Structure 1
Amino acid sequence: MTSRLGALLRATETRVVFALLAAIALVDIGLRLMESRLSGNLAHIAAIPEIIEAAGKPQRHSLLLLGNSLTHNGVSASVVGGRLPNVSVAKVTPDGTGLWDWQCLLDHQVIERREVQFDTVVIGFAWHLLSDQARHDPSRLGGLYCRMSDLANPRTIGLETGSDIGEFVAAAVLRTYALRDTLRNRFFQLVVPSYETFTQAGNAARAGVGAQPGDAPHEAGAPEVVHTYRTFAELVDRLKSKGTQVIVVAMPVQSDYEIDPALRELETSRGLSVIDLRKVAGLDSSHYLDEMHLNHAGQQILSKVLAADLHAELASAT
């Protein structure tokens, strides 16, 4: 009797486990089919391979604008393209990205694709977003930008610990896990009035104090962080080996920040070009949506200045 009851319970537990796994699989499949509808950012990420392929044709001159929301709000691809005739311009600017995300994007969508060729890659940055000490998000890397093959050497994509690797794998396998923040935000947008306005205000308030966005966490009392650029330098080398010039643009924000001397040194050692647009004539506080992001009028001003600088940079290179 006891053995029969135990067998029945084990069978019930097995059915429950399989039912849960089936439910998770169905939810995951559903998310993969409709994720681009969850947010404009996810729709943009899904379109990145096509955006890059459409512009990066080997037989034409081409330029890739890469960055995060600073570049998305700050630079108009049409204004830049209008100042650079006969150059095909693509703009890829997923939210919240930095060095580690950009590295995977460039490796897998530009460097490794034989059908893609860009003469120039222009990366908009601020603070220390290009340094080895920039923050990494294992879920974002695993779910959106990197591949499982990148785990052959996890440190090269910013993963330092076993928990980082576990989070990366979970996000790569389970869409529900990878998109948990987006799902949470969508839920609260539906049930909490003014949730989006509240979160934007919180992000803006944090932007000018404490650790700068993109910095790795810094413990109180710990030695000052020295920012290094080995990972970015190696990425520049890989792009140059494919015939791609790299230009980085220090973007304007309402709080001051310095350009690291180590990044400046790459101008000589790696042939990198640095365009400093931290201060642009005509830009003031009225041209910002918040502490970091330009409004449409500010975008037009910055884009015209950047377009002129890029025109001069590319002309000198040829």
Structure 2
Amino acid sequence: MPIPLLVLMPIDPERLERIAAAGYAPHLAVGPEARAEAIARMKDEVRAVLTNGATGLTAAEMDALPNLSIITCMAAGHENVDLRAARARGIPVTHGPSTNDISVADHTLALLLSTVRRIPQADGAVRRGAWMASREPRPIVFGKKLGILGLGNIGRQIAERANRGFDMEIAYHNRAPRPEIPYAYMPSVTELAEWADFLVIAAPGGAGTRHLVDASVLHALGRGGYLVNIGRGSIVDSEALAAALKGGTIAGAALDVVDGEPEVPASLLEAPNLVITPHIAGRSPEAMMATANLLIANLDAHFAGEPLKTPVAMPA
């Protein structure tokens, strides 16, 4: 019999079909009401949960699923899964690192070029018949300074593209320096922003990074600086960013993630110097299928009693 899998995050039909073909029975429960109803109705059936970093899984929800034996996260993030609760219950958690790195890094450069060169705004102006009025000079990207907040797998790929393709100077800020990396390490986000022409956020979410990019960091980035966020929306103080865009504290921004998404603050949407996409950086066909395949590999390993492919390290 197919193993019941409670799916708490939006997922496309192609990956659902792949999961079902592998011997699992996915049950979609997206949104608070559907989630609560499904947990109550299927509490004795559910043996596995599929979620992601933004959606997470609480201790109370784990308590309500007595036969839950594994929690899987579709992508790399797992910040809203209560790991301490999972550990206390002996429930392993897996995630999907390195499945969408290439796609996210590609999208980051697209966002950077779009905001610096104001591509969406120029396209809209031409469509409104304002060809001549939209021909303002825009800065170049080649040879500029790129600061990266979070030099993990995705951050490194962004750095390589920017350095090799655009001859950009790279610096980064992490929780700790990485001596094996040939780029300059900055001891604080503020110092990184002061140095950079463009600041890219590729850090994970969670309490430790919430609103790490605030008004003071944006002020350090400065009037000629641009912000790109493909990490987690919670890292940026949205109201501070909206004020910085409106007041000219920074020149522009591009976001693929927003705190509280899919709801977007009206103050951000009103900013003409903002480019925004709906959390699609990792949504290439290749990356999406890779996440499904890794999810299945982890589930197969778990239910066969074999070592997990990509377990999340549990807190002590």
The TM-score, its normalising length taken from structure 2, stands at 0.36
User: Greater helix share, 1 or 2?
Assistant: 1
Structure showing greater relative contact order (alpha-carbon pairs closer than 8 Å, 6 or more residues apart): 1
Q: Give TM-score scaled by structure 1 length.
A: 0.35
Higher strand share: 2
Higher alpha-carbon Rg? 1
